[in-house]
Amino acid sequence: MELFFSPFDNLVCILLGISFTVWFTLLLVFIIVPAIFGVSFGIRRLYMKTLLKIFEWATLRIERGIRRSGSNRDFDSASEFEMSDIFYFARRGVESIMDDEVTKRFSAEELESWNLLTRSNYNFHYISLRLTVLWGLGLLIRYGFLLPLRMKNFLSEKVHLMCYRICVRALTAIITYHDSENKPKNGGICVANHTSPIDVIILASDGCYAMVGQIHGGLMGVIQRSMVKACPHIWFERSEVKDRHLVAKRLSDHVEDKSKLPILIFPEGTCINNTSVMMFKKGSFEIGATVYPVAIKYDPRFGDAFWNSSKFGMVNYLLRMMSSWAIVCSVWYLPPMSREEGEDAVQFANRVKAAIARQGGLVDLLWDGGLKRGKVKDTFKEEQQKLYSKMLVGTQEDRSRS
């Protein structure tokens, strides 16, 4: 059976091909390439400014409508010869005449046998087929296997940054980083207030971090196993998470290796609604490593970044983020902090939390974010009951005296 295509079908196919080409070109030029080189064309900031203008215009229109209704409020490259080219021949001539013990020490050592590197034998040329095949095999091994293997960390960091920056652009995230000279360094722990799962993307698009988390199954488990092959992330089994000493040991071993990436931790343990900072768990402050505080503050005018996990699932939350106007936030890298003499882990955690709250304009609270899901501990209730009983006893004594 033969198939015949009408001119209209051919036109549709051509238009579809052109559309796909244009779409892929725009994707490559405006998203992938800028993400690889870490540059920006300013489109997102222009988009943000345009939105602000639209918001201002809408506000003015509302205010005019209110005034009209009687309100009294006033809203109001070819090579050429150079003189330096003669130096090589002059040096070789002098060496041939004198063969001194000094000049020869500034040239590459002459090898008795060739090591299949063209840079160690500049007179290399075709001698035999076997030798050429052997040289080609060596070239393939050196550049196709050894070089990528030795550049693993470098390539891993670049790929991670590229992927996170693509995610940032997909969310139309406009991020302003302050005081980048204080960015976390290897062998340290980065702690930040927690508003949303995209906090990780916000920070990781400006630098690479080792993540800490619980091992999952399914697709998430596959992703975690793939990530740990390229970067030394710290994943715990569910039973291990309850063992604070084991967790502290794993974290301590990581930060002692100065070649490993800084650990990213959100000590609150849950997402808070961008207005406050709640109690920091003391575990990450018991290790004794340098802590790099980071404050994150979102601009709610463009979209609410807070994830209320008890109300919205991950898919629903991501859909809300993708349908927001934009994700606009500021990130402040605070100076590194260390545990002072005589200061326990809780005091150190509170001092770091206070610094983050002060810089981000957030309310500093002592309450445990775990109250979001769990009940108040009985010990805490008992303490409050004891305080209340003391107040009652004191009141009765005052009355009896009077």
Whole-model pTM: value is 0.67
% residues pLDDT > 90 (the chain): 18
* Residue 394: per-residue pLDDT: 66
Q: Tell me: do 35 and 159 sit in the same domain.
A: no
- Name the pLDDT band for 363 (thresholds 50, 70, 90): very high
pLDDT at 138 over 50: yes
In three-state form (DSSP H/G/I as H, E/B as E, the rest C), the secondary structure along 315-372 is: HHHHHHHHCCCCEEEEEEECCCECCCCCCCHHHHHHHHHHHHHHHHCCEECCCCHHHH
Is there a domain that residue 251 lies in? yes
Is there a domain that residue 197 lies in? yes
Residues 278-287 have pLDDT tens digits of 999 888 888 8
* Residue 76: per-residue pLDDT: 46
Is there a domain that residue 384 lies in? no
Top-confidence residue, 362 or 60: 362
Is there a domain that residue 290 lies in? yes
Of the given ranges (108-117, 215-224, 278-287), which has the lowest mean pLDDT?
Answer: 108-117
Alpha carbon 198 to its chain centroid, in Å, reads: 10
User: 290 near 186, Cβ under 8 Å?
Assistant: no
- Name the pLDDT band for 65 (thresholds 50, 70, 90): low
Q: Tell me: do 35 and 162 sit in the same domain.
A: no
- Dihedral over Cα of 364, 368, 372, 377: its sign: negative
Of the given ranges (102-111, 181-190, 314-323, 388-397), which has the lowest mean pLDDT?
Answer: 102-111
Is there a domain that residue 248 lies in? yes
Q: Tell me: do 23 and 163 sit in the same domain.
A: no
Containing structural domain, residue 33: 12-41
Total number of domains constituting the chain? 2
Is there a domain that residue 132 lies in? no
Mean pLDDT of 38-60: 77
Tokens standing for 160? 């991670």
Tokens standing for 129? 């087929």
Q: Tell me: do 358 and 217 sit in the same domain.
A: yes
Mean pLDDT of 208-231: 74
Q: Tell me: do 30 and 163 sit in the same domain.
A: no
Rounded CA gap, 249 and 180, in Å? 30
* Residue 136: per-residue pLDDT: 80
Mean pLDDT of 323-350: 92
Is there a domain that residue 193 lies in? yes
Rounded CA gap, 300 and 326, in Å? 10
Strand partners, 176: 330
Q: Which residues contact 104 (CB under 8 A, 6 or more apart)?
A: 95
Top-confidence residue, 49 or 182: 182
Nearest to 338 by CA among 281, 292, 393: 292
- Name the pLDDT band for 299 (thresholds 50, 70, 90): very high
Is there a domain that residue 336 lies in? yes
pLDDT at 134 over 90: no
The strands making up 173-178's β-sheet, listed across from edge to edge, are 173-178, 327-333, 291-298, 189-192, 263-265, 210-214, 234-236
At 389, which amino acid appears?
S
* Residue 368: per-residue pLDDT: 81
Q: How many helices (H) and strands (E) does the chain have?
A: 14, 9
Mean pLDDT of 328-348: 92
Strand partners, 298: 329
Query: What CATH code is carried by the domain that includes residue 269?
Result: 3.40.1130
Q: Tell me: do 313 and 183 sit in the same domain.
A: yes
Rounded CA gap, 283 and 248, in Å? 7
Rounded CA gap, 195 and 270, in Å? 8
* Residue 216: per-residue pLDDT: 66
Mean pLDDT (the chain) is 77
